[in-house]
């Protein structure tokens, strides 16, 4: 059976899943999205992802033509149609078909697209041995220009940073904000451990308030690991005891070297590994059945 994709109320084959060339999502990146994971038939943090999608849409004055309940059922329907128990879900809402001008009023009806498939963002060896990452010249968009809490379809800022990482032979890149402070990576949030305390950049510096990021906060607090947001520089990262990244697709992955500097003893740290184990256990029991 071929992969089925949900497009505006219909499940169609992957090859037949099409949008108009006049869709403003294609023409201008005018739309929003969410990435969601399932684990053994459980959709992880589904309500939080749906809530964030509607918040992103509200901020760009895009009215999603479906209730939250209806959208949740459409996600489940797509998963069932593809018989996937462990999957990555890409939920997309575009402004819809308009003309070649910018005016969103020309778009009469938003489009909803749901893709369910498998994803492997990084090689398994990086989860066991840790990653080496770099800082790149491309700076994170300032929040006053494009608020990072809006998960829009325009990811060119992140893609340019990813290109710089790939050209340098790295899997992931740290992006600084306009003032030179650490914001986030191209697709992941960043944590460090210093003196047994978990630290991550505050979102006002230009990072997304990631759902996996919030889960790590909760897990750390539950096992009495101090955790807080803190303004971080590259110097702070270089001298951290541990480092790891989080994201829906990446889950949680250790970092052992930044810009050629060894982090801690150059191996995934004890607190990092403990939190990763806690996270994996949570995904097996916390979720919505479909």
Catalytic residue list:
151
170 within 8 A of 134, measured Cβ to Cβ: yes
With both helix axes pointing from N to C terminus, report the angle between 211-222 and 46-59 in degrees, rounded to the nearest 10.
130
Structure tokens at 111: 């489009």
Strand (E) or helix (H) holding 70: helix 68-82
The beta strands (E) that lie in the chain are given as 4-7, 10-13, 31-39, 42-43, 87-94, 111-117, 131-135, 173-176, 182-185, 189-194, 197-200, 227-229, 242-247, 251-258, 261-262, 288-289
């Amino acid at each position: 059976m071929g992969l089925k994709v949900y497009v505006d109320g219909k499940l169609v084959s992957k090859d037949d899943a099409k949008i108009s060339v006049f869709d403003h999502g294609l023409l201008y990146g005018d739309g929003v999205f969410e990435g969601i994971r399932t684990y053994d038939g459980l959709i992880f943090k589904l309500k939080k992802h749906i809530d964030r999608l509607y918040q992103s849409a509200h901020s760009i004055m895009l009215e999603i033509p479906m209730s939250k309940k209806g959208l949740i059922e459409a996600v489940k329907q797509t998963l069932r149609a593809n018989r996937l128990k462990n999957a990555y879900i890409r939920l997309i809402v575009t402004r819809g078909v308009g003309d070649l001008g910018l005016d969103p009023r020309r778009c009469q009806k938003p489009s909803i697209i749901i893709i369910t498939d498998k994803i492997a963002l990084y090689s398994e060896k990086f989860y066991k041995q840790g990653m080496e990452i770099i800082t790149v010249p491309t700076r994170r968009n300032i929040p006053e220009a494009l608020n990072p809490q809006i998960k829009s379809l325009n990811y060119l800022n992140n893609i340019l940073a990813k290109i710089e990482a790939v050209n340098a032979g790295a899997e992931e890149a740290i992006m600084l904000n306009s003032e030179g402070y650490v914001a986030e990576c191209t697709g992941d949030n960043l944590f460090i451990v210093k003196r047994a305390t978990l630290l991550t950049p505050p979102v006002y510096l230009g990072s997304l308030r990631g759902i996996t990021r919030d889960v790590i906060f909760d897990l750390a607090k539950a096992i009495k690991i101090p955790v807080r947001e803190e303004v971080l520089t590259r110097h702070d990262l270089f001298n951290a005891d541990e480092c790891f990244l989080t994201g829906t697709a990446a889950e949680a992955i250790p970092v052992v070297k930044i810009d050629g500097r060894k982090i801690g003893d150059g191996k995934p740290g004890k607190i990092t590994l403990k939190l990763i184990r806690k996270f994996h256990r949570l995904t097996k029991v916390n979720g919505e059945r479909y």
